[in-house]
């Protein structure tokens, strides 16, 4: 192998390394999705608490209406924002692909757990199974933030991930109490809405 060929290989390796570093430094896109998820479901959690404590004088169907409305609102936001993210420069970088994959997987896992709890609720004829749902969701949020931190190199996301992991057993402490949903609302704001907005602020102004 000639010196020119060796130098060409070195240049190619250096180029690929530079491209990988550039992708790693690219801003994470999709913060708006997490911000909307946190805000929408935090609002539903507060409404759930208000129904449970009698502050909203509605029947048991009120719970289904609140969470059903929240789900529809989030799905609409998800469709609109996902299309926007796909059009943004940098959406195809390794960090953003991993970010999107991790949070999509977390979303599917949450949906699967929701279906599983619905089945358990019907099979066991008890609503007690739902007491651990907030803990399950926060644990999955921790996973999503951990992957995001590892792929993007943004260390502060590890703090958010740790907060989600700590929040999971904390939610179980409030199990069976209406205050659980107030605590859950606070957790969603701190661990989804706020970090999502911070990620949005880090996006270049010509992208947003």
What tens digit of pLDDT does each residue of 113-159 get? 999 999 999 999 888 888 999 999 999 999 999 999 998 889 999 99
The pLDDT of 95-117, averaged and rounded, is 92
In a domain, 207, yes or no: no
Q: CA-CA distance, 116 to 105, in Å (whole number)?
A: 16
pLDDT tens for each residue of 70-86: 999 999 999 999 999 88
How many domains is the chain built from?
A: 1
C-alpha distances out from residue 142 to 33, 90, 130, 152, 162, Å: 16, 24, 20, 15, 7
Structural domain containing residue 155: 23-202
Rounded Cα distance between 51 and 140, Å, is 27
Q: Are 105 and 38 in contact (CB under 8 A)?
A: no
Q: Let me know if residue 5 belongs to a domain.
A: no
Kindly state whether residue 134 falls inside one of the protein's structural domains. Answer: yes
Is residue 91 pLDDT above 90, yes or no? no
Structure tokens at 56: 């909203």
Tokens of 104: 């999509």
Classify residue 14: in a domain, yes or no.
no
pLDDT for res 12: 41
* Structural domain contains residue 16: no
Q: Please check whether residue 36 lies inside any domain of the structure.
A: yes
CB burial of 23-47 (b: ≥16 within 10 Å; e: otherwise) equals: beebbbbbbbbbbbbbbbbbbbbbb
Q: Model-level pTM?
A: 0.83
The position carrying tokens 């195809």 is: 92
CA dihedral sign, ordered 117, 70, 182, 62: negative
Asked if residue 17 belongs to a domain, the reply is no
């Amino acid at each position: 192998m000639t010196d020119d060929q060796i130098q060409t290989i070195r240049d190619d390796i250096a180029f690929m390394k530079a491209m990988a570093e550039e992708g790693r430094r690219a801003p994470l896109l999709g913060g708006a999705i997490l911000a909307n998820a946190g805000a929408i479901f935090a609002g539903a959690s507060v409404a759930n608490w208000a129904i449970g404590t009698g502050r909203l004088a509605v029947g048991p169907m009120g719970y289904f209406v609140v969470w059903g409305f929240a789900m529809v609102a989030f799905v609409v936001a998800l469709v609109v924002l996902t299309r926007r993210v796909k059009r943004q420069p940098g959406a195809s970088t390794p960090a953003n692909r991993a970010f999107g994959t991790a949070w999509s997987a977390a979303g599917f896992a949450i949906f699967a757990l929701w279906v599983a709890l619905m089945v358990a609720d019907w099979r066991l004829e008890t609503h007690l199974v739902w007491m651990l749902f907030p803990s399950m969701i926060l644990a999955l949020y921790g996973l999503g933030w951990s992957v995001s931190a590892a792929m993007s190199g943004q260390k502060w996301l590890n703090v958010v991930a740790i907060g989600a992991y700590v929040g999971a057993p904390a939610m179980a402490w409030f199990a069976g109490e209406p205050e659980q949903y107030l605590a859950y609302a606070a957790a969603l704001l701190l661990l989804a809405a706020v970090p999502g907005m911070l990620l949005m602020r880090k996006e270049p102004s010509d992208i947003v």
